[in-house]
């Protein structure tokens, strides 16, 4: 939903000139904070971003990998191969204007490239190299030193220039964001015979500067060829004559521009394949080139293959070698009719990981061992799904003219997806909601306005409009989720450590990318060998389970059920999270308090017992007390014990109490001392 109207308002609010372009998929890096807004819709008439139509704050189905961005500037390069090459336009009174190319030179271009963050200036032209503009011409006779921070600080003549035409529009090529070159073969097919000749062509954007083109081969460190192009040339050619098996592989190209001691290299082109095998293959008499009777080329003649031990592993390699979609079936008994040519091979045994049939084990035909009634056949898909699990979910691509291309998602519906899932043997269609994480391939748009009734056996039999290949107006790439590619759920919990105390609340979130109309989540728990589950309806692709108490311990997984067309489909289980019970800090505190109280009580008891002992000792009336005290005296001290024993036995007679008071006092003191 993020578009140029939204970007215009951002640039206006920030006073950053006009919007050059919008970016998606976190081109400037992924944010780390919350995602506040989703599906912004600005008309361009708002004064600030908060007036645009949008969902509620924090309501979204996005990831930071989809963060939106904006490029604002007072200058832009239009109609070029990238934002760093094109016709120079300058913002004036909230509209774009062109620059007259009279006197326009490399120093002026340096300032433009610097302002746009596009590196160094490679070339400057004053003759409308990137098409003629249609907006007013505002600046002319621009004179920059090259040190200015933006073009408005250069000397220039301003005003509506009636004496300058758009044929003199100034243009610039900068070093930053060099576009990819385009690679092609002289023959549309990629299967070649030994001794064939083929030419690889590399086409680069027109920069009007000298460049060097490198031809590269996969797994070869150095370029296999290079060619220098003049400023007027845009295509380099590499001839591969008398092909041999060593020429098998993928080829790309890359160009380099050198200017003022600086070197700038482009990204590599999309690869093209050159496959040369001892057994070139084809599928004959099928509904399309990726389905039919298998035939191999040998001894300058096409022949068939016997279906002995023919299976899906063999079919996988056939589809791979022909650059078709996934293998759908390996057929026998001359399903696509009997061949008329020789039967070259009796058996082919592949593991499925080979790139060519010639890499598989094979056995030549023996006399009378096989007939054309046993011709092997293969059905590969003319359609494939990129980016999702098990090749059964992802962005839709179709094969046309030996090139995979995209399908425009405008008017894309569930019945269209049903045909895709059915033809891929991926079950039933669950969703057609666009999922940005799937991405898309580099090919053009081949189809748009697809209209299937859901009963077609092949996707190619649906009504559709063939696209010009240049774009998808008001639409995005078509995507499909089939039941065999059902998405995995996610699980998370709070506390994240999985450790909880008695009585603490445990929150578990189950979620999935929000592509299903209805979804019910199931939380599975396994504890002490016993399983249980909870169910809850999902909203925006997620739900929360809240659990409390010691019974929450165990292992947890999430699963969901989606309901489409009266059918129910269960997802795989998520990863497992473990919850354990730990003592709380409050419990530890209570234990410490109890221990402290026990110690305090023990001290008090000891103190009171000692005081009671002292009281007993100071009692001096009666024989029983003295006798008991006598038992408490340490009998190991013989001398003292005898002396005390004597004193205890010599009780005073009547009338002698006063005379023996001092003796009793001495006895008390001695006992206390002891």
> What pLDDT digit, counting tens, does each position of 382-399 carry?
888 887 766 788 889 988
Mapped to the 3 state alphabet, what secondary structure does 548-604 carry?
ECHHHCEEEEEEEEEEECCEEEECCCCCCEEEEECCCHHHHHHHHHHHHHHHHHHHH
151 CB contacts (<8 Å, ≥6 apart)?
A: 74, 75, 88, 90, 99, 108, 111, 112, 115, 139, 142, 144
**pLDDT for res 601:** 85
Q: What is the pLDDT of residue 315?
A: 93
Asked if pLDDT for residue 318 goes beyond 90, the answer is yes
Residue 161 structure tokens: 């220039």
Give the list of residues 6+ apart from residue 309 with CB closer than 8 angstroms, or none: 347, 348, 349
What phi, psi does 276 have (nearest 5°)? Answer: -125, 120
Average pLDDT over residues 599-611: 80
Q: Does residue 622 carry a pLDDT above 60? A: no
Q: How remote is the C-alpha of 500 from its chain's centroid?
A: 32
Q: How far apart are CA 381 and CA 286, in angstroms?
A: 12
pLDDT of residue 454: 85
Q: Which residue has the higher pLDDT, 522 or 2?
A: 522
pLDDT band at 590 (very low <50, low <70, confident <90, very high): low
Report all structural domains of the chain as residue ranges with CATH numbers, in order of start: 4-174 (3.10.250.10), 182-275 (2.60.40.10), 277-380 (3.10.250.10), 383-485 (3.10.250.10), 490-581 (2.60.40.10), 619-673 (no CATH)
> Which residues on neighbouring strands pair with residue 479, listed in sequence order?
395
Which has the higher per-residue pLDDT, 668 or 533?
Answer: 533
Contacts of 147 (CB under 8 A, 6+ apart): none
For residue 591, what pLDDT band results from cuts at 50, 70 and 90?
low
Residue 368 pLDDT? 55
Residue 639 has pLDDT above 70, yes or no: no
d(CA 208, CA 122): 9
Q: Which of 13-17, 122-126, 551-555 has the lowest mean pLDDT?
A: 13-17
* Token pair of 120 as six digits: 């160094």
Looking at residue 313, its pLDDT comes to: 92
Question: Per-residue pLDDT averaged across 585-595, rounded?
Answer: 66
C-alpha 360 chain-centroid distance: 35
49-105 tens-digit pLDDT: 778 888 777 777 788 888 888 888 888 898 887 888 899 999 888 788 999 998 899
User: What whole-number distance in Å separates Cα of residue 394 and Cα of residue 435?
Assistant: 8
- Note whether 95 and 137 are within 8 A (CB): no
Distance between CA 155 and CA 598 in Å, rounded? 92
Alpha-carbon gap, residue 75 to 20, rounded angstroms: 8
Does position 351 have pLDDT exceeding 70, yes or no? yes
Average pLDDT, the chain: 81
| 416-442 average pLDDT score | 81
User: Over 70: is that where the pLDDT of 651 sits?
Assistant: no
Taking only the tens place, the pLDDT of each residue in 32-60 is: 888 888 888 888 778 887 788 887 777 77
Going by pLDDT thresholds of 50, 70 and 90, the confidence category of residue 254 is: very high
For residue 573, what are the CA distances in angstroms to 329, 533, 551? 29, 13, 22
Query: Which has the higher per-residue pLDDT, 556 or 279?
Result: 556
- Select from 44, 145, 159, 27 the least CA-distant residue to 97: 159
% of the chain exceeding 70 in pLDDT: 84
pLDDT class for 549, splitting at 50, 70, 90? low
Of 529 and 168, more confident = 168
Q: When comparing pLDDT for 549 and 451, which is higher?
A: 451
Highest mean pLDDT: which of 449-453, 484-488, 519-523, 569-573? Answer: 519-523
Q: Are 392 and 475 in contact (CB under 8 A)?
A: no
In 3D, which of 241, 200, 197, 194 has the Cα closest to residue 358?
194
Tens digits of per-residue pLDDT, 120-167? 888 888 988 888 999 999 888 899 998 888 888 888 887 776 688 999
Look up residue 398 and give its two tokens: 């179709």
- Eight-class DSSP state of 15: T
More confident residue, 615 or 233: 233
- Structure-model confidence comparison of residues 672 and 244, the more confident one: 244
Q: What is the rounded (10 degree) CA torsion for 187, 193, 195, 201?
A: 20
Sheet holding 198-203, edge to edge: 182-185, 198-203, 235-240
As a whole number, mean pLDDT of residues 648-654 equals 44
> What sections of 356-413 are H helices per DSSP?
none
More confident residue, 293 or 46: 293
């Amino acid at each position: 939903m993020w578009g140029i109207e939204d970007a215009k308002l951002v640039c206006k609010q920030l006073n950053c000139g006009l919007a050059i372009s919008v970016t998606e998929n976190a081109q400037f890096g992924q944010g780390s904070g919350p995602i506040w807004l989703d599906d912004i819709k600005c008309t361009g008439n708002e004064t600030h971003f908060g007036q645009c139509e949008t969902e509620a704050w924090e309501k979204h189905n996005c990831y930071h990998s989809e963060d939106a961005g904006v490029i604002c500037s007072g200058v832009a390069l239009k109609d070029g191969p990238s934002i760093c090459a094109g016709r120079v336009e300058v913002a004036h009174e909230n509209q774009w204007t062109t620059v007259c190319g009279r006197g326009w030179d490399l120093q002026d271009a340096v300032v433009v490239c610097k302002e746009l963050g596009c590196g160094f200036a490679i070339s400057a032209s004053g003759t409308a190299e990137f098409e003629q503009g249609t907006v007013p011409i505002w600046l002319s006779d621009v004179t920059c030193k090259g040190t200015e921070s933006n073009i408005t600080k250069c000397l220039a003549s301003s005003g509506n220039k009636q004496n300058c035409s758009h044929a003199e529009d100034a243009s610039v090529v900068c070093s930053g964001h060099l576009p990819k070159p385009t690679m092609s073969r002289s023959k549309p097919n990629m299967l070649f015979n030994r001794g064939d000749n083929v030419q690889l062509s590399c086409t680069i954007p027109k920069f009007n500067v000298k460049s060097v083109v490198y031809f590269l081969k996969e797994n070869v460190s150095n370029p296999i060829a290079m060619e220098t192009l003049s400023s007027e040339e845009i295509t380099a050619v590499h001839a591969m004559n008398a092909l041999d098996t060593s020429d098998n592989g993928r080829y790309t190209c890359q160009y380099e521009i050198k200017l003022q001691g600086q070197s700038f290299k482009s990204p590599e082109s999309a690869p093209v394949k050159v496959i040369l095998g001892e057994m070139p293959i084809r599928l004959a008499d099928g509904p399309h080139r990726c389905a039919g009777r298998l035939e191999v080329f040998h001894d300058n003649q096409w022949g068939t293959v016997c279906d002995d031990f023919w299976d899906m592993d063999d079919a996988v390699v056939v589809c791979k070698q022909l650059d078709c979609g996934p293998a759908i079936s390996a057929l026998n008994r001359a399903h696509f009719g009997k061949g008329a040519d020789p039967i070259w091979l009796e058996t082919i045994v592949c593991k499925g990981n080979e790139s060519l049939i010639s890499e598989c084990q094979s056995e030549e035909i023996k006399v009378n061992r096989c007939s054309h009634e046993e011709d092997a056949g293969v059905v590969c898909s003319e359609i494939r799904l990129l980016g999702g699990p098990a090749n059964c979910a992802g962005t839709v691509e179709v094969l046309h003219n030996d090139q995979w291309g995209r399908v425009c998602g405008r008017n894309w519906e569930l019945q269209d997806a049903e045909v895709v899932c059915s033809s891929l043997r991926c079950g039933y269609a669950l969703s057609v909601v666009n999922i940005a994480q799937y991405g898309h391939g580099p090919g053009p748009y081949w189809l748009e306005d697809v209209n299937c009734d859901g009963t077609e056996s092949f996707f190619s039999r649906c009504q559709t409009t063939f696209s010009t290949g240049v774009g998808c107006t008001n639409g995005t790439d078509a995507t499909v989720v089939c039941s065999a590619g059902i998405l995995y759920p996610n699980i998370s919990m709070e506390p994240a450590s999985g450790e909880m105390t008695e009585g603490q609340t445990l929150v578990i979130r189950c979620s999935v990318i929000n592509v299903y109309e209805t979804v019910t989540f199931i939380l599975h728990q396994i504890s002490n060998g016993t399983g249980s589950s909870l169910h809850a309806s999902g909203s925006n692709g997620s739900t929360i389970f809240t659990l409390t108490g010691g019974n929450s311990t165990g292992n947890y997984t999430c699963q969901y059920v989606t309901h489409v067309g009266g059918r129910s489909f269960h997802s795989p289980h998520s990863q497992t999270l473990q919850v354990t019970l730990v003592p709380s800090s409050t419990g530890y505190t209570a234990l410490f308090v109890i221990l402290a109280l026990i110690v305090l009580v023990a001290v008090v008891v000891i103190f009171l017992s000692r005081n009671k002992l002292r009281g007993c000792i100071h009692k001096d009336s009666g024989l029983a007390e003295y006798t008991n005290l006598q038992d408490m005296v340490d009998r190991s001290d013989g001398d003292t014990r005898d002396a005390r024993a004597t004193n205890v036995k010599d009780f005073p007679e009547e009338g002698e109490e006063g005379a023996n008071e001092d003796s009793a006092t001495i006895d008390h003191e001695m006992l206390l001392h002891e």
